[in-house]
Structure 1
Amino acid sequence: MGFPKKRSTGGEDEASAATETTRQSTMWSPYDEGPRSRGPLWFALGGLAVLGLLAGGLVIMWNTKTPGQAETARRTSAPLPSAPPGEFGFAGDRKNDPEPLTVKELFAQKKFTVEGRSYEMTITKTDKKCGDAANGEKLAKALKSGKCTQVVRASFRDKAGKVIGTIGVANLNNTASAKKVAAAGGKDKRSVYVKALPGKDAVTKYIGSGSGAAEIWTHGHYAIMVWFQNKDGSEPTKKTSKTLAQVADDIAKATAFKALDARSLSGYPAN
């Protein structure tokens, strides 16, 4: 039992809108782990006073446009860069989107609300060795094959403390590699998923224990890997699976996908 499929999976063609994403799902149990002021120039050269004043006037006129003003005019006249062709613009390939991800960019707010539902982030971690953030040898190999340079993870809880989970964003070299990572975490791969990141608080310290549900979504050259569960570790039922899916969707849209959408448009972090 996994999350409802709201986007196409990593093995299929990507959707038409730049902000849409590709997803894979699975569930398993249990978990194993101012201008410058210038004064007038005065000249007192006897019979050449008139010429001196004229010269002074020319100096003042020459400097009415300051260097700063000239630079501003040049900057505003420069054309804006055009996004590369493709569904995800700059984010389709890391060569067009070279800046590393940061925790601040992806997970800027510790507390936030989505349509009246409140969430809190409790812990973050950045892994440069991507395999350290993966559970399952096949996923670790797919990350390595895709030249993954980092996985940024964060864990969350809902206000009531009943739902907890981890989101990890992997930075791959291109869209094809991200899709391969998603395929490695397909619904039949019960031992392949993002490694849960337990917090130190009384609620998210239980992340990774018991049963849960997981998905791997893609956005250009990024793979967004999620694991969410009931706080008590109980196996998701049909009803609680919908709740897990809603929480995961809320948090991912408010954090990772929001940041990656900005990269699609510019090739740089929004912050």
Structure 2
Amino acid sequence: MIEARDTGESQASRPDGGQDFWPEDKKDGKDGPGRRAKSKSSSSRSRTPLIIAVVAVVVLAAAGVAGFLVLGGGDEKASGAPGNGARLSPVAYTPQMADKDMAKLAQRSADQRPITQGEAFPGDVKTVAYQKYSFTLAASQLANDCKSVTWGQRLQGDLAKYQCSQIARGAYVSQDRGHVGQFIAINLASQEGAEQIVRDLDPGVGAGFVFPLTAKGAPEFRSGFSAAYAQAYGHYAIVTWVQRAGGAQPASLNEMIDASLAIEKPADFVWGRLELADGTPR
């Protein structure tokens, strides 16, 4: 498992002349590695970043890649759960706990209305884009049985303990079919539960993960390199998970960050709920 964090420094070249996997910060003034904050929208909603940045320098030599695939999980299929893909974990994972601004959504008792399909995946998230990456929503699903769309005894135990009531999943495919993405929203009873699930999803813990949603005719998530970014938003745990189609190694973590920022758009429903909690018209 690779965890990304911002050091504030660009990565130096390796002394052996090889090239490190993590890139240097972008020099063009655009969002560089590790920046997942989006500017305030015209409706003055501010976004809490899912990831603040990139950290470690990792060399993906042939032996190293093999090791990462072990951490990423096998290709065992789920049984009896239509729409589920392979049993996989991301290779790179960045967790973030809830921001203080989410305090009004810390308890589901103050936000009791269930998520609806139309709320999580409205028309404006059918096509999403960030930088050069553009994705189309290939399938979406709202499951009320959290166990049916997850694997791992410990994860499933905590989902039950913290009263998971819904898991929304959206499968995205880039326009060139070179990248696939998963948007995941998990509805827990409390912020404490959401933060515990964010910790459980860390592949280094080995607690389990959410099955990727499959879509007819779309490339499926496979064993190989993938990156996930997870954050607690009040009593919700939000995850964006991306990979190159087929699981190939990306050119840099920037590629994964930019792709994930594109498919983060459905998280807007959380901001809408926060506005309602604040008494601000949407």
TM-score (norm 2): 0.63
Q: Which amino acid aligns with 1:223?
A: A
Query: 2-side partners of 1:7 and 1:180: how far apart?
Result: 24
Show the counterpart of 1:245: 257
Alpha carbons of structure 1 residues 151 and 227: separation in structure 2 relative to 1, 3 Å: same
Query: 2-side partners of 1:171 and 1:221: how far apart?
Result: 6
Deviations 1:118-147 (A, max 9, x none): 210000111111112223222211211110
* 8 Å CA contact retained: 1:114, 1:250: yes
Show the counterpart of 1:255: 266
* 8 Å CA contact retained: 1:3, 1:244: no
Instruction: Please say if 1:87 is aligned against 2:101.
Output: yes
What SS class does the counterpart of residue 104 from structure 1 fall into? helix
Query: 2-side partners of 1:178 and 1:259: how far apart?
Result: 16
Q: Which amino acid aligns with 1:178?
A: A
- Counterparts of residues 46-85 of structure 1 (less than 5 Å): none
Identify which of structures 1 and 2 has the higher relative contact order when contacts are C-alpha pairs closer than 8 Å and 6+ apart. 1
Deviates more, 1:23-32 or 1:192-201: 23-32
From 177, 202, 208, give the equivalent of 1:161: 177
Query: 2-side partners of 1:249 and 1:260: how far apart?
Result: 16
Query: 1-side partners of 2:201 and 2:35: how far apart?
Result: 15
* 8 Å CA contact retained: 2:173, 2:181: yes
Shift of 1:198: 1.3
Show the counterpart of 1:104: 118
Instruction: Please say if 1:4 is aligned against 2:10.
Output: no
Q: Which amino acid aligns with 1:172?
A: L
Deviations 1:200-245 (A, max 9, x none): 02x33x22454422333211100113332211222x34x2433122
Higher helix fraction (1 or 2): 1
Query: 2-side partners of 1:174 and 1:223: how far apart?
Result: 10
* 8 Å CA contact retained: 1:193, 1:225: no
Show the counterpart of 1:123: 139
Show the counterpart of 2:8: none
* 8 Å CA contact retained: 1:185, 1:215: no
Query: 2-side partners of 1:195 and 1:158: how far apart?
Result: 20
* 8 Å CA contact retained: 2:170, 2:182: yes
What SS class does the counterpart of residue 196 from structure 2 fall into? helix
Structure 1 residues not aligned, in runs of 5+: 9-16, 34-85
Show the counterpart of 2:168: 152
TM-score (norm 1): 0.65
